[in-house]
Structure 1
Amino acid sequence: MNTENKSNEKDGDYTTGDAFDDRYVSVNDYTGEGYDLVNGEKTDVIANEKFAEIEEAMKAFFLEEYKTEVIVHNVVGNVDGATVFVESVGEPHFHTYAMIGIDVKEEKIMTESIWTQDSQVEQSLFGGLLAMIMDEEFAVLDDFIEGFAQKNSLTGWRQEAINNVGSTGYTTPYYFIQPMPVALSEQMEQVNGLYFEDPSIDAKELKGHFDKEDYNEEHIIFSIQLYMSKEGDKPDKALFQKLVSEFKELEGAPRGNYQLSLHDNYVNKLSASGSQDNSLKERNVLKD
């Protein structure tokens, strides 16, 4: 569940033996350990040695720039410094990331050099606010996915993995949402602006400023990612069709463009992805 730079890995068939063990881990055990970014070997060592310094700088940055208190969960070295994974405290709830510069020669954290990718944090914040606005609809979605997973021996990501390498905004063990920042720029700016003016704003007040029946449902992506619960099990085609069929009949879920995936039991440690050649996928299931 990571849309940040995913090293050099691509979806594909498994390797075997030691190579398999080096690259893949059961989603049941996956905590985010092993995640790798291109050319981040040297900076990764420095970043982890000076985690406390990065943590302090990042907390101050998010509070100043986004009016949001965050928990800093993990740092991973990249070519320019470190990618820092954070979780917001309370509501709106979301996971995202920012980057901080590192002077490798001086082994120095450049606390004055913190930046984010275009609209990444704004998109994540907006998703968390939408979950507050459409709390009843999200509860319907949660009940369906959790119930289906429990009845059919499916699973999702552990919370530790979401915390350590999750960067997909409003994220649960089974799904995340990604509002399109360009297509929904007006709504995102309006709703985020209300939060920036008053970070303690509650769901009731937010609901009065956003018409949940007015946006184009194609512009909010819901990515549902389920896994087989047992190691060695391949994605079950009949079970996946049952999931798709029952989901299409579901009423009351948030309006959006749903992408459904069923993976086997393994996650690529380097890329934080469960998607492989054997993954089963159904795209563009619209709820309007």
Structure 2
Amino acid sequence: MDSGPGIEVTVVGGGVIGLTTAVVLAERGRRVRVWTREPAERTTSAVAGALWWPYRIEPESLVGEWSLESLAVYEELAEHPDETGVRLVEGVHGGTRLDWLGPWASRVPGLRPAHAGEWAAGTALWARLPLIDMSAHLPWLRERLTAAGGIVEEREVTDLAAVDAPVVVNCAGLGARELVPDPAMRPVRGQLVVVENPGITTWLTSVDPASQSPTYVFPQPGRLLLGGTAEEDDWSLTPDPAVAERIVERCAALRPEIAGARVLEHRVGLRPSRHAVRLEREELPGGRVLVHNYGHGGAGVTVAWGCARRAAALAYPAV
């Protein structure tokens, strides 16, 4: 595979992890190219509900720092929501408590137990968190990369070792299962329903980490995202009408005004799940370097900037 003139780094994968990693590298002065099998608008990242929150991702000991680093970036990006797609939105996490979370939670500004009027039944947390419109954020990342001198090419990679660049960063997500190969990579299927927004301005989640039926309501510009599912080892990208009906019913039980909302679209995405994120450096023959940055489960957006900075440091360790 032709490395192209002056290319120092090839990032394999054009979702939120790949694009963010490429931006970090390019803005540190590296000549970066992204090879992606499909445009960002057709990646798993494009389907994400994209509320900042560590969900279905390990190891917990590292995820907190990656998430907090990313939170700081999103708080800055939220100053220009129309450009970046990032907004700070208030909402409630039903069914969780601060003492059930890791040490990172104490460093999230404004995260607190919900008052009785904010959650009708039992334990919940209230917060003002980044909610990212991926239809705007992914193109913005691509434009930021281009502005830093990077390029994006639609090109499928079948052999990481054959990518002709001094440094290769593997951000292939679920594709790493075949590409590495890494049989530890597994899909966790997520289905959601897009409806007209009847006037809801706050987000809501009710998530049991062991359940296949998390419930969430995310207000995005011009629409409302309703979810969802967490079906392990399910590769189907076809929306299930019965599942969609149950999603709407669960969301309407929490916000009754949803019941009559007109359905605009059905979406399915496969979360790239692994027992732990793989973020490590591998030496290739001839002095080349391969950095792995994949397996982010349901929190790719949440940890994108923290993991991108770690990947960049692994690619070019400080002397």
Q: TM-score, normalised by structure 1?
A: 0.27
User: Of the two structures, which has the highest relative contact order with CA contacts closer than 8 Å and spacing of 6 or more?
Assistant: 2
Q: TM-score, normalised by structure 2?
A: 0.25
